[in-house]
Amino acid sequence: MPAGGSAARKAQKLLGDEVRVVSAFQNVAADHLNADDAHLDQCHVLVCGNDPTARETVVQLSEELGMRA
């Protein structure tokens, strides 16, 4: 683990606790997301964050794209 933690943790510290920060899609390669023939229904997305409502929003967005979150 980097000394400052994850990028999401650094963003949370920078933005403050009142801002909802969710980390997702870091485990799906950008070229896969951009591919015309991407099989997004085969992707599993890791979603992390300390706000359950914000996490659920990202889960729903992922599912709308056909991914499993």
17 assigned to some structural domain: yes
Let me know: does 26 contact 69? Beta carbons within 8 Å.
no
pLDDT of residue 37: 75
What pLDDT digit, counting tens, does each position of 28-67 carry? 888 877 777 778 888 899 999 989 999 999 999 999 988 8
12 assigned to some structural domain: yes
Task: Give the whole-angstrom CA distance, residue 23 versus residue 3.
Answer: 18
Range of the domain at 47: 7-64
Let me know: does 55 contact 49? Beta carbons within 8 Å.
yes
What are the backbone dihedrals phi and psi of residue 47, each rounded to the nearest 5 degrees, phi first? -125, 125
How many domains, the chain? 1
- Cα dist from 14 to 11, 20, 27, whole Å: 5, 12, 23
pLDDT of residue 1: 64
